[in-house]
Chains A and B, each alone.
Chain A
Amino acid sequence: MIVVKDVSKQYGDFTALEDISLEFSNGLYGLLAPNGAGKTTLIKMLATLISPSSGEIQYNGENIIAMDQRYRELLGFLPQQFGFYKNYSPAQYLLYLAALKGIPKQQARLKIDELLAKVALSDVKHKKMKKFSGGMIQRVGIAQALLNDPKILILDEPTAGLDPKERARFRHLLTDLARERLVIISTHIVSDIESIANEIIMIKNKRLLYKDSVEQICDTLHNAVYETTVDFGQLDEFRKRHVLLSEKQEYGKMIVRFIHKGEKKDGWIPVQPQLEDVFLYEYQDEMIEGL
């Protein structure tokens, strides 16, 4: 079990994360927040790439920094920017990383074959990666994270560059993996984790906002998400007064999905809140700033 205890991270005067406390046991956790919210900082601390400015992270009661090699032996990590050598083939590169992970060569070769088959790259295992698409590179990244059969798998934006089919395949893979290990996925794409995560962690204003199941997080908007039909002429006014989640044109009118926490009006149909609704609601200010 990983316990994050009152962790803060500062870079000079800038605070990236403040007073975060979390607990992780086996299962799949989705770390969901917009870009720049501090997800990668938390991921980097969990991967021991950076140390907390205050607080500590423990694995089974032991500080992960102090565990050093013993912790990294348990760790599989896919960084946000997966780097590789263009002139290496996937097999060569995985063999290189396997050596760094302390896996004997013969054992590594077998594991590499198995993993490349799992990520559908067996056919190109000896081809140089410089000709690979973004999705293929990302699949190599996923394979490398699994090389040492990690107990803790941390994936930072793992679906970047994957097409919808690859994403679906990846979700299945993660579901299988999370049965017997701890998997933490950082993403800003709600659909990547909504259907597979046991728990969602959301960070807002450098602090922990939610750590709960999808259902419970969605419950925070219970009876607050509606759909209604709006004339084109009223749309601008409607946008100003409500948090719009989606807009769809149909038969010359607009069907809008929105959040309203006050009294329900006629013609508003209450709908089941989705994780994306919560995400859009909670980060509406940050997303407007980001535009």
Chain B
Amino acid sequence: MQIVWNEIKKILTWKSLLLLLIINCILYFFLIDFYIKHFPNGRPALDSYRLGIEMIEKYGPTMDDEEFKDFMKTYEVRVKEADRYLQTEKVAVAEGIDTYEKFNSYEWFKASKEAGELRDRLFFEDGTDLFWELQERSRLIGFYEGKEMYSSNATPAQLKRYEELAKEGVFGTYPEVAISNFRDYITNVAVAILFSVVAVMSLAILRDRTRHIVSLQYTARKGRNLLKTKLLAGFVSTLLVITGLLVIYMGLYSLNDTSMYFNVRVNTFIGNESWYNPTFFQYILFTIGGIYLVGIVFGLAAMGFSTIVPNTLTLLGAQIPFVRAFSFSACTD
């Protein structure tokens, strides 16, 4: 145990922790910060987020036909409010857009200057949420009434699965803003963690070789078995690095305040087709598990390279293609 602990201390030095800090600060500001600072990102994302919470509070994690009727009723009430609002606007009355229905079907590309100014004022200046909200409600109604998943480019097997889900009443109904944000966030977090793991673990074994310490280690009682201990220490260190970073990043993610969505199933979010249908919270846990898995694979691979390459430069050269390939595929997915 003492030897494992010694090897861990050799990997997690203050220098490597400083390296972790630098890597993560850089990647945080380049890749991750946006998804915390700008969530929900503008309109109608904010309305989408708020409506999602309202739906969960009223109907729970799913919405059935009866509940949809209630959703429609709320929509109609809000439309009437919009009608009343428009009727108080002289320009709206003069332009013949004194109801929300007319406002919606108005040919805005032919709009007069006054009408254009009115629309801009309603959406961007008055601080009125109503018109943004109605747009989003209308979009959600469209999705519910469509009662289907996206099926573009779906394979026959996927189509069959969509049909099964639709029969069970599972289709994209709830606003996707929370889960989309999480997907983008966690992808970039995974890239940051992967870089961190590779950076810290790469020199774990090579360092002893380049400093001519291996002959001392292998002639001690422990002997060549030390390599196994080093791998174990590397594994534990990888877990510690991943866990530490995940605690920090998930702590930061909690600022997005999406816990209300945790019980909603993935396939219930618009445009989030999945073979399995975990809740959002389970999905978060799966992604965390995935990060551990990929992190461990890359950590062990980094140590593997570390045992065979002759120097640090070769080590970096050998690993860059793998890390780049993963980062590229993660960022493009």
Query: Chain B residues with Cβ under 8 A from A102's Cβ?
Result: 220-222
**A47–B217 CA distance with the chains assembled, in angstroms:** 11
Contact B222 A79 (CB under 8 A): no
**A69–B224 CA distance with the chains assembled, in angstroms:** 10
Query: Chain B residues with Cβ under 8 A from A148's Cβ?
Result: 221
A170 at interface, CB cutoff 8 A: no
Chain A interface, number of residues (Cβ within 8 angstroms): 26
Contact A83 B213 (CB under 8 A): yes
Contact A85 B219 (CB under 8 A): no
B113 at interface, CB cutoff 8 A: no
**A73–B222 CA distance with the chains assembled, in angstroms:** 9
**A59–B17 CA distance with the chains assembled, in angstroms:** 46
The verdict on A99 contacting B2 (CB below 8 Å), with A68-B223, A72-B221 known, is yes
The verdict on A79 contacting B220 (CB below 8 Å), with A99-B2, A100-B3 known, is no
Q: Which of A44, A72, A144 contacts B223 (CB 8 A)?
A: A72
| CB-CB nearest in chain A for B226 | A100
Q: What is the CB-to-nearest-CB distance from A3 to chain B, in angstroms, rounded to a whole number?
A: 19
A84 at interface, CB cutoff 8 A: yes
| CB-CB nearest in chain B for A88 | B10
**A84–B218 CA distance with the chains assembled, in angstroms:** 14
Q: Which of B2, B3, B10, B218 contacts A85 (CB 8 A)?
A: B10
Contact A47 B219 (CB under 8 A): yes
Against A, the Cβ 8 Å flags (1 = close, 0 = not) of B157-174 are 000000000000000000
Question: Which of A81, A87, A100, A144 gathers most chain B CB within 10 Å?
Answer: A100
Query: Chain A residues with Cβ under 8 A from B6's Cβ?
Result: 96, 99
A77 at interface, CB cutoff 8 A: yes
B211 at interface, CB cutoff 8 A: yes
Contact B226 A83 (CB under 8 A): no
A97 at interface, CB cutoff 8 A: yes
A291 at interface, CB cutoff 8 A: no
**A75–B216 CA distance with the chains assembled, in angstroms:** 11
Q: What is the CB-to-nearest-CB distance from A276 to chain B, in angstroms, rounded to a whole number?
A: 29
Q: What is the CB-to-nearest-CB distance from B209 to chain A, in angstroms, rounded to a whole number?
A: 9
Q: Which of B10, B213, B214, B222 contacts A84 (CB 8 A)?
A: B213
On A, residues with C-beta under 8 Å from B are 44, 47-49, 68-69, 72-73, 75, 77, 79, 81-85, 87, 96-97, 99-102, 105, 144, 148
On B, residues with C-beta under 8 Å from A are 2-3, 6, 10, 13, 208, 211-223, 226
Since A72-B223, A100-B221, A100-B222 are in contact, a sample of 11 more A-B pairs with Cβ atoms closer than 8 Å, ordered by chain A residue number, is A72-B220, A72-B221, A79-B216, A83-B211, A83-B216, A85-B10, A85-B213, A100-B3, A100-B217, A102-B221, A102-B222
